[in-house]
Amino acid sequence: MEYKYLNTIYYPADLKTLPQEALPIVCDEVRDFIIQQLSQNPGHLGSSLGTVELTVALHYVFDTPNDQLVWDVGHQAYAHKILTGRRERFHTNRQFKGIAPFPTPAESEYDAFIAGHASNSISAALGADIGYRALEDKRRRVVAIIGDGAMTGGLAFEGLNNTSMNKNNLLIVLNDNNMAIDPIKGGITQYLVDITTSRRYNNWRWWIYRTARKLHLINDDNKGRVQRFTNNLKALLTKQGNNIFQGLNLRYFGPADGHDVLSLVRIFNEIKDYEGPKVLHIITKKGKGYEPAENDQTTWHAPGEFNVATGERRNGIGKKQEPLWQEVFGTTLLGLAKEDERVVGVTPAMPSGCSMNIMQRELPNRVYDVGIAEGHAVTFSAGMAKAGLIPYCNIYSSFLQRAYDNIIHDVALPKLHVIFCIDRAGIVGNDGATHHGLLDLAYLRPIPNMVIGAPMTGEDLQQMMALAKDYEGPIAIRYPRGRSQSYVMQYPTLHYPQPVVGKAVCLREGSKVAVLSIGAIGNTVKCAIELLGNKADQIAHYDMRWLKPLDETLLREISDKFDQIITIEDGVINGGLGSAVLEWTNDHGYHPQITRMGVNDQFVEHGSTQELYQLLCLDQESIADTLLKCLEKK
Ligand SMILES: Cc1ncc(C[n+]2csc(CCOP(=O)(O)OP(=O)(O)O)c2C)c(N)n1
């Protein structure tokens, strides 16, 4: 595309050479560029369209990368990438070996922190600000940019609290579009809607502050008192009490129009060198500048490919396909909830992502969207279980990491009946390292009282969810992103009983090597075995179904019969199924040769799931190769 200004901008230094009057045009061009690019190479559209003016103004005013921009959830940072040396490679965004989906310091010095999981920006930015001050590098400014959705996370509040306790110059930009992925409800959101401010007040306050400084009436000791005084002045002028930020002794500016780039430039120029912590509250619109995205913000958070002119999405909609795993979860949960009034759903801000919105539509009072608050979601579920409800708490595998101690302390130790439905387990694809769900099997296994299951098919998921309802105690069911497979039923020798906790299933008898898989990767194993032709008879395949408790009876049979065992899992091999089988055989005096297949000790990059499984040697062909090699062993 021919753009008057954008084609000449490679880095913020180029942007800074332009006159201010050019900035609105630059914003239009960046916005158009994002829309055109994402129509062909899918990504997070709505949030990034909402931050175009903010990003242009930040890079125009601040001295990046010396000054640090800390983005919270980097899905809003596409304009930032485009203006910081990655415009010409932006068509590779999220692709295998292309530029990373989220800000990544290893990729660019302009990316201050990893930003895939919400609500970390204030803490990280505060630490950096204090660090630079401590190291006498006071010229560096640090800005945290956080959305109102991310602001519902407890970590953000911990950061705010600490910001008010420390000497720092942090600037927090609160990007308020009144949306997360789904509409946000809750006290904080309503509160932000209610905040108003007067320009007159801010001018007054600045004047008082400067005059008082000159007259030496303000020093570091009494600054807090002066701030409280000016806050009270605001209360008088605006007929409103202190807002939460002011209550925390943070200077509050706004709300400002987050789509008026010139006024953002003016405000940043004015406040960037104010001493002390400060919050600029801006109002933006998710999907700004592209009508379909403005009108249906949830769908257009990450719409897939689309036709720019018509707004038609090309997501295979209308094609008959296997249901998504999340849809199996959503419909099953609704069915269970209709049968049993104790069943409730809990989600930390992902009702559409995990398909709990299926139940939300029919039984809205039985679904609790608690905000981006995984730890709270878990402890809240514990409380519900204590009272006798049966909470199905659905959290993506990688986000559940945020709630580790809540699982241990609040659910497992008191042995409460919380059912964890762990979506996006395994490789998730283009969202990359921050979002892969590769650790859950390993991090849940050591927790006492925890039961861990992984269905191989959609039917298995349904059965496990139903079984979990009547199981007393914590139980986790993990399943992947994407479409569920149902072809396990094609096994000729299949004897497939109703699931029982801790009972594995023999999918195929074999004479020489036993393959033990867990979860949906068992489907790939099945195809790999079929690739072996007449050698397939030598391979036995077991779907372990439960990582904990392990099916010890079956393990004994397998260990008695085979001296070669292969374990395969869609997660790290440190601590998962392979480790469990190794430990069990060792502890019970068996010494088979065990080949553990899974993800080695590494963070996995981004790319399509197919590319990544190949990279990890967990695709059909690689698994078939490993099987062949094992068969060739004496
Ligand atoms: C810890 C964590 N939980 C959930 C998510 C999934 N997630 C990604 S973006 C998002 C909404 C963020 O809302 P907001 O901060 O307001 O940004 P917006 O998308 O509105 O620009 C959610 C819930 C996440 N990235 N991290």
DSSP for 88-122, written as a single string: TTGGGTTSTTS--SS--TTT-TT--S--SSTT-HH
Question: Stretch 269-279: mean pLDDT, rounded?
Answer: 93
User: pLDDT category, 229, cuts 50, 70, 90?
Assistant: low
pLDDT at 186: 73
User: pLDDT category, 489, cuts 50, 70, 90?
Assistant: very low
pLDDT at 10: 97
Residue 119 C-alpha to ligand 1 middle, in angstroms? 8
Token readout for 235 is 């209360």
**pLDDT tens digits, residue range 549-580?**
999 999 999 999 999 999 999 999 999 999 99
pLDDT at 494: 37
Strands of the 419-423 sheet, one edge to the other = 367-369, 343-347, 390-396, 419-423, 475-478, 451-453, 546-548
Instruction: Tell whether ligand 1 has an atom less than 6 A from the beta carbon of residue 180.
Output: yes
Alpha-carbon distance of 103 to 76, in angstroms, equals: 10
pLDDT at 287: 95
Instruction: Tell whether ligand 1 has an atom less than 6 A from the beta carbon of residue 559.
Output: no
pLDDT at 86: 97
Alpha-carbon distance of 140 to 157, in angstroms, equals: 24
**pLDDT tens digits, residue range 1-53?**
789 999 999 999 999 999 999 999 999 999 999 999 999 999 999 999 999 99
Residues 132 and 104: beta-carbon distance below 8 Å: no
Instruction: Tell whether ligand 1 has an atom less than 6 A from the beta carbon of residue 155.
Output: no
Instruction: Tell whether ligand 1 has an atom less than 6 A from the beta carbon of residue 192.
Output: no
CB atoms within 10 A of CB 629: 11
Angle between helices 552-561 and 577-587 (to 10 degrees): 70
Look-up: residue for tokens 């179904």? 545
Q: Which of 572, 611, 563 is nearest to 591 (CA)?
A: 563
Name the residue of 49, 181, 298, 376 to mutate for ligand 1: max ligand atoms within 8 A of Cβ. Answer: 181
Name the residue of 71, 73, 423 to mutate for ligand 1: max ligand atoms within 8 A of Cβ. Answer: 73
User: pLDDT category, 617, cuts 50, 70, 90?
Assistant: very high
Q: Which of 236, 214, 218 is nearest to 227 (CA)?
A: 218
**285 a catalytic residue:** no
Instruction: Tell whether ligand 1 has an atom less than 6 A from the beta carbon of residue 545.
Output: no
Strands 475-478 and 419-423: parallel
Question: Stretch 139-151: mean pLDDT, rounded?
Answer: 94
**pLDDT tens digits, residue range 349-400?**
999 999 999 999 999 999 999 999 999 999 999 999 999 999 999 999 999 9
Phi, psi of 610 (to 5 degrees): -60, -45
Strands of the 278-283 sheet, one edge to the other = 68-71, 142-147, 171-176, 278-283, 251-257
Instruction: Tell whether ligand 1 has an atom less than 6 A from the beta carbon of residue 251.
Output: no
Strands 546-548 and 451-453: antiparallel
Alpha-carbon distance of 622 to 527, in angstroms, equals: 11
For residue 271, the one-letter residue type is I
Angle between helices 521-531 and 620-632 (to 10 degrees): 60
Token readout for 479 is 């399943």
Provide the Cα torsion 199, 204, 209, 211; round to 10°: 140
Residues 85 and 11: beta-carbon distance below 8 Å: yes
Does 605 have pLDDT greater than 70?
Answer: yes
Residues 563 and 519: beta-carbon distance below 8 Å: no
Instruction: Tell whether ligand 1 has an atom less than 6 A from the beta carbon of residue 189.
Output: no
**pLDDT tens digits, residue range 165-191?**
888 999 999 999 988 888 877 777 777
Question: Stretch 218-224: mean pLDDT, rounded?
Answer: 60
> Sign of the CA dihedral 379, 429, 288, 142?
positive
Strands 564-572 and 505-508: unpaired
Atom of ligand 1 nearest to the CA of 50: 21
**402 a catalytic residue:** yes
For 392, what's the count of Cα atoms within 13 Å in the CB-facing half-sphere?
Answer: 35
Q: Which of 536, 511, 507, 533 is nearest to 521 (CA)?
A: 507
Strands 171-176 and 278-283: parallel
Residue 452 C-alpha to ligand 1 middle, in angstroms? 27
Instruction: Tell whether ligand 1 has an atom less than 6 A from the beta carbon of residue 398.
Output: no
Alpha-carbon distance of 183 to 164, in angstroms, equals: 29
Extended strands (E) in 148-302: 171-176, 251-257, 278-283
**239 a catalytic residue:** no
Look-up: residue for tokens 């332009």? 18
Pick the catalytic residue: 86, 94, 288, 374?
374
pTM attached to this predicted model: 0.90
Does 319 have pLDDT greater than 90?
Answer: no
Residues 71 and 77: beta-carbon distance below 8 Å: yes
**Three-state SS string across 279-316, please?**
EEEEECCCCCCCHHHHHCCCHHHCCCCECCCCCCECCC
Alpha-carbon distance of 479 to 461, in angstroms, equals: 8
Q: Which of 436, 430, 427, 489 is nearest to 458 (CA)?
A: 489
Q: Which of 584, 595, 522 is nearest to 554 (CA)?
A: 584
Does 197 have pLDDT greater than 60?
Answer: no
Residues 628 and 113: beta-carbon distance below 8 Å: no
Residue 43 C-alpha to ligand 1 middle, in angstroms? 14
Residues 596 and 578: beta-carbon distance below 8 Å: yes
Instruction: Tell whether ligand 1 has an atom less than 6 A from the beta carbon of residue 118.
Output: yes
Name the residue of 155, 372, 400 to mutate for ligand 1: max ligand atoms within 8 A of Cβ. Answer: 372
Atom of ligand 1 nearest to the CA of 150: 15
User: pLDDT category, 226, cuts 50, 70, 90?
Assistant: low
Atom of ligand 1 nearest to the CA of 399: 1
Does 487 have pLDDT greater than 50?
Answer: no
Pick the catalytic residue: 286, 478, 545, 548?
286
Q: What percent of the chain has pLDDT over 90?
A: 80
CB atoms within 10 A of CB 238: 15
- Check residues 220 and 73 and name the one with the higher pLDDT: 73
Tell me the average pLDDT of the chain: 90
Does 101 have pLDDT greater than 70?
Answer: yes
Residue 468 C-alpha to ligand 1 middle, in angstroms? 29
Residues 112 and 147: beta-carbon distance below 8 Å: no
